[in-house]
């Protein structure tokens, strides 16, 4: 694992950084393939959108591109994580507006969780996702809900956990987004109240017309899974991951089809 | 500002600390008076309860007491902040369970916001608080909602902002708890779904019988404020702060009484 902080090789950050004090920042977890970052434009767009909505002074895109390219070039396959925090601050929640953002780049080897052998097993988590339209869709450093949900199981055969909101709607996985297909309709939860709008989710939604699928973002409950013909999950590092089994307490839903995920994966490989 | 990390004078922390990566930790902001921390037992109890609920390996209470006492002794009046994170971790949300917690102690001068001149002005914020019973009541490092709410105003005459949940119930201030009194009933929002259960809130609730007040925790909407005879807000640093004016868009509620807050403050001074 190698780390660069504000462009320099460092391993520590200022203990007054608001990223630590309040989770006041955003991040991207990117897949390096062939020494380049996959879906880089989408990652940068979401990062900068997050900075805009949180009123963080975002680093210039050209600077980020340069640093990311130099970092990615060091390994053929890797995970590249970029954190941007509001930077060190005074005491108190209110930003002065003058904080210089901190950027932290970390290059790490691909972990096994990043290379699942689909179709995978998934479980429904008890930890709910709280709704807050102000933060919905963003990948902020406030990730305790994901930490608690991911702490619910240790069985390495279960790849991911599904999370729902307090009204019982499915929202996303702890580290991925959810897609259901029935016929030629591709459904994914609407993320206007909570959840992280993944870059791979965005890419899949953009591909849908090419696969003659009608995509639909909405609210749906657990029961909808039983009506799905195919379920897959997406994240920027692992890509498109078919789901064979979903567990929720004692009930289990088995899924046999992987056709859409297979076609999407083939397209993704061509990028 | 002086900082000690795991008992040593330091100013930086490991960039892999989960406190930074995920806001995976809790904190206490304590008032030093006469070189001692006020309500120390309540602070430690909440901190350890937070560690328990997040399954963080909490530092031993005796160690925390020793370090806090040594730190507080350096200044007659100050703010002492203690952060406990899960510590440095591997990539991924799931804790291994073996992370050694990081403790960060910071001693800083009393800021002006910590010494308001009551009765103060307060405003209703637009940023809502998301509900999540798993985290409700805890003072975690996931504080982006407070940051966004506190960013809504810059007018230094407004001391605090009130926040409500998505159903329109009042919950708390960005950095304080809310109390309303009507007759001999003292009301404060129930914090079973969201909000931080402040140590000063706990102290006030414990004092209520001594002041012949019946305390009640429940859900109430904005309209309840219009029916209140007295409103005050509490936090561990500023104490008990009477509210004279609450603004919400164009509407304003004026409050004349400060009797209960005055009596509580007198008792607090005697501690």
Binned at pLDDT 50, 70 and 90, residue B234 comes out as very high
**Inter-chain residue contact B141 with A93, CB threshold 8 Å:** no
- B235 contacts on A by Cβ (under 8 Å): none
Number of Cβ pairs < 8 A linking chain A and chain B: 185
Coil, helix or strand at residue B203: helix
Cis peptide bond upstream of B119, omega within 30: yes
Q: State the pLDDT at residue B223.
A: 92
Of A19, A81, A130, the CB nearest to B131: A130
Residue with tokens 């910590």: B114
Percentage of chain B beyond pLDDT 90 is 95
**Inter-chain residue contact A134 with B150, CB threshold 8 Å:** no
Q: State the pLDDT at residue A118.
A: 85
Coil, helix or strand at residue B124: strand
How many angstroms separate the CA of residue B43 from the nearest CA in chain A?
Answer: 18
What does the alpha-carbon distance between residue B40 and residue B67 come to, in Å, rounded to a whole number? 12
Residue B78 in this model has a pLDDT that exceeds 90:
yes
Q: State the pLDDT at residue B68.
A: 98
Structural tokens at position A254: 């088995």
- A24 contacts on B by Cβ (under 8 Å): 143-144, 147
State ipTM.
0.97
pLDDT average, residue stretch B81-89: 97
What does the alpha-carbon distance between residue B82 and residue B203 come to, in Å, rounded to a whole number? 20
Q: Compute the mean pLDDT over every residue in chain B, rounded to the nearest whole number.
A: 96
pTM of the model: 0.97
Question: Which positions ≥6 away from B134 have C-beta within 8 Å?
Answer: A127, A128, A145, A148, B53
Q: Are strands B177-182 and B230-235 parallel, antiparallel or unpaired?
A: antiparallel
Q: State the pLDDT at residue A260.
A: 98
Of A17, A140, A147, the CB nearest to B93: A147
Closest CA to B258 of B237, B243, B238: B243
What does the alpha-carbon distance between residue B201 and residue B203 come to, in Å, rounded to a whole number? 5
**Inter-chain residue contact A135 with B143, CB threshold 8 Å:** no
pLDDT average, residue stretch B65-75: 97
**Inter-chain residue contact B94 with A14, CB threshold 8 Å:** no
Please report, for residues A74, A234, B188, B264, B268, the alpha-carbon distance to residue B207 in angstroms, rounded to integers and kept in the order given: 62, 53, 14, 8, 10
Contact B49, B35 (CB under 8 A): no
Contact B197, B205 (CB under 8 A): no
Structural tokens at position A31: 């897949």
Coil, helix or strand at residue B220: coil
Cis peptide bond upstream of A119, omega within 30: yes
Helix/strand number for chain B, H first, E second: 7, 16
Q: State the pLDDT at residue B117.
A: 84
How many angstroms separate the CA of residue B22 from the nearest CA in chain A?
Answer: 5
**Inter-chain residue contact B20 with A17, CB threshold 8 Å:** yes
- B17 contacts on A by Cβ (under 8 Å): 20
Closest CA to B186 of B138, B139, B234: B234
- B142 contacts on A by Cβ (under 8 Å): 22-23, 142-144
Mutation target vs A (from B132, B143, B194; most A CBs, 10 A cutoff) = B132
Q: How far is CA B226 from the centre of its chain?
A: 25
**Inter-chain residue contact B11 with A11, CB threshold 8 Å:** no
Nearest chain A residue to B81 by CA distance is A91
What does the alpha-carbon distance between residue B84 and residue B62 come to, in Å, rounded to a whole number? 15
**Inter-chain residue contact A91 with B83, CB threshold 8 Å:** no
**Inter-chain residue contact A20 with B83, CB threshold 8 Å:** yes
Closest CA to B72 of B100, B121, B39: B39
- A111 contacts on B by Cβ (under 8 Å): 91-92
Q: State the pLDDT at residue B167.
A: 94
Residue B113 in this model has a pLDDT that exceeds 80:
no
**Inter-chain residue contact B13 with A20, CB threshold 8 Å:** yes
What does the alpha-carbon distance between residue A145 and residue A139 come to, in Å, rounded to a whole number? 12
How many angstroms separate the CA of residue A14 from the nearest CA in chain B?
Answer: 4
**Exposed / middle / buried, residue B140 (Cβ in 10 Å: 0-12, 13-18, 19+):** buried
How many angstroms separate the CA of residue B209 from the nearest CA in chain A?
Answer: 33
What does the alpha-carbon distance between residue A105 and residue A6 come to, in Å, rounded to a whole number? 8
How many angstroms separate the CA of residue A20 from the nearest CA in chain B?
Answer: 4
- B166 contacts on A by Cβ (under 8 Å): 131-132, 193
CA A236, A180, A221: angle at the middle one, nearest 5? 110
pLDDT digits (tens, 9 = 90+) for B12-46: 999 999 999 999 999 999 999 999 999 999 999 99
Of A16, A17, A111, the CB nearest to B92: A111
pLDDT digits (tens, 9 = 90+) for B248-264: 999 999 999 999 999 99
How many CB atoms are closer than 10 A to CB A250? 5
What does the alpha-carbon distance between residue A25 and residue B19 come to, in Å, rounded to a whole number? 12
Question: Which positions ≥6 away from A1 have C-beta within 8 Å?
Answer: A106, A107, A108, A109, B16
- A136 contacts on B by Cβ (under 8 Å): none
Helix/strand/coil (H, E, C) string of B208-235? HHHHCCEEEEECCECHHHHHCCEEEEEE
Structural tokens at position B189: 């929002």
Residue with tokens 């008990």: B240
Rg (CA), chain A: 19
Mutation target vs A (from B83, B91, B115; most A CBs, 10 A cutoff) = B91
Contact B141, A22 (CB under 8 A): yes
Residue with tokens 């020793």: B66
pLDDT digits (tens, 9 = 90+) for B132-156: 999 999 999 999 999 999 999 999 9
Of A15, A132, A193, the CB nearest to B145: A132
pLDDT digits (tens, 9 = 90+) for A102-135: 999 999 999 877 788 889 999 999 999 999 999 9
* B99 phi and psi angles, rounded to 5 deg: -65, 135
**Exposed / middle / buried, residue A223 (Cβ in 10 Å: 0-12, 13-18, 19+):** exposed
Q: State the pLDDT at residue B115.
A: 81
Mutation target vs A (from B2, B5, B20; most A CBs, 10 A cutoff) = B20
What does the alpha-carbon distance between residue A72 and residue A224 come to, in Å, rounded to a whole number? 40
How many angstroms separate the CA of residue B112 from the nearest CA in chain A?
Answer: 11
pLDDT average, residue stretch B206-229: 96
Q: Are strands A36-37 and A25-33 parallel, antiparallel or unpaired?
A: antiparallel
Question: In which residue ranges of chain A is pLDDT below 50?
Answer: none
Contact A208, A202 (CB under 8 A): no
**Inter-chain residue contact A130 with B128, CB threshold 8 Å:** no
Structural tokens at position B170: 């009042």
């Amino acid at each position: 694992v190698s780390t660069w902080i504000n462009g320099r090789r460092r391993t520590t950050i200022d203990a007054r950084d608001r990223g630590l004090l309040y989770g006041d920042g955003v991040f991207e977890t990117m897949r390096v393939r062939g020494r380049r970052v996959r879906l880089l434009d989408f990652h940068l767009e979401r990062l900068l959108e997050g900075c805009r909505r949180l009123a963080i002074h975002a680093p210039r895109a050209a600077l980020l591109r340069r640093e990311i390219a130099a970092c990615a070039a060091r390994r053929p396959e890797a995970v590249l994580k970029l954190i941007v925090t509001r930077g060190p601050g005074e005491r108190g929640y209110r930003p002065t507006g003058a904080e210089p953002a901190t950027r932290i780049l970390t290059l790490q080897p691909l972990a096994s969780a990043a290379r699942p052998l689909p179709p995978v097993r998934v479980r429904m988590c008890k930890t709910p996702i709280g709704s807050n339209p102000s933060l919905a869709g963003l990948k902020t450093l406030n990730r305790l809900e994901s930490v608690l949900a991911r702490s619910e199981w240790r069985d390495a055969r279960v790849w991911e956990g599904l999370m729902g909101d307090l009204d019982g709607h499915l929202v996303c996985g702890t580290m991925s987004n959810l897609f259901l297909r029935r016929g030629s309709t591709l459904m994914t939860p609407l993320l206007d109240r909570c959840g992280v709008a993944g870059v791979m989710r965005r890419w899949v939604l953009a591909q849908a017309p090419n696969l003659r699928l009608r995509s639909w973002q909405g609210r749906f409950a657990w029961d909808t899974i039983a009506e799905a013909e195919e379920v897959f999950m997406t994240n920027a590092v692992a890509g498109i991951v078919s789901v064979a089994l979903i567990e929720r307490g004692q009930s289990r839903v088995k899924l046999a089809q992987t056709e859409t995920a297979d076609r999407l994966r083939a397209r993704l490989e061509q990028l």
